[in-house]
Amino acid sequence: DQQVKQNSPSLSVQEGRISILNCDYTNSMFDYFLWYKKYPAEGPTFLISISSIKDKNEDGRFTVFLNKSAKHLSLHIVPSQPGDSAVYFCAASAELMNRDDKIIFGKGTRLHILP
Amino acid sequence: NAGVTQTPKFQVLKTGQSMTLQCAQDMNHNSMYWYRQDPGMGLRLIYYSASEGTTDKGEVPNGYNVSRLNKREFSLRLESAAPSQTSVYFCASIFQINTGELFFGEGSRLTVL
């Protein structure tokens, strides 16, 4: 039973346009969400996070939106750049409410930025 | 500042052999994790340790054991390797989950023949 779902295995976006990556979750106890970026042959690196007490968090070109009622979050990258081509993972934990330190990842979305 | 260090980076085993993947972090983090990454499967949690002396099962713990030797080190052991355990293994650590950043090692590529 997949608790964190990224239903788009891949996404292609023109350079300079907006990239929107989506993530759905099933466990209503999740209260902290993270996005990670991964290049081939490297470990994932942290991009941005959001707590369930917020509905938006912004860091430079990256913005994460959280819709708790829909159990959905999205990562917006504006403007998209060639270096953004990578696999993006969504992750969730239930630490704040449930004191559970488990962090669960989705399957990832491969983003291709087209020149 | 080395961050999270995993050894070995590559390993080939025969079915039935045992081995231990080592992980160490120098950031004074409380929680440590072992994930495996397989094509089309994303990052799946094997085991995690919320603090020194505690370990818990993740999504795919079967065939693995772990030891949180001290606050710095968290090892993953395969007692009798199987071809299904061919994967890339990542160790990660975080000081406290709501601080945001989970740090990953560079990965260990394991092939079981």
| B80-100 pLDDT, tens digit each | 999 999 999 999 998 877 666
- Interface residues of chain A, partner chain B, Cβ below 8 Å: 6, 9, 32, 34, 36, 41-46, 49, 51, 89, 91, 93, 95-96, 101-108
Report which DSSP code applies to B22.
Answer: E
Which residue type sits at B54?
T
| Region for residue A41 given its phi and psi (left: phi exceeds 0; alpha: psi -120 to 50; beta: otherwise) | left
Residue B91 · residue B21 · CB < 8 Å: yes
* Test mutation, A2, A107, A109, A110, chain B, max B CBs within 10 A: A107
Contact A105 B43 (CB under 8 A): yes
Contact A96 B103 (CB under 8 A): no
Contact B59 A104 (CB under 8 A): yes
| B25-61 pLDDT, tens digit each | 999 999 999 999 998 888 999 999 988 889 999 989 9
Tens of pLDDT, residue by residue, chain A (115 residues): 789 999 999 999 999 999 999 999 998 888 889 999 999 989 999 999 999 999 999 999 999 999 999 999 999 999 999 999 999 999 998 865 556 678 889 999 999 999 9
CA A87, CA A38: separation in Å to the nearest integer?
5
Burial (0-12, 13-18, 19+ Cβ within 10 Å), A12? exposed
CA A34, CA A74: separation in Å to the nearest integer?
11
Residue B11 · residue B110 · CB < 8 Å: yes
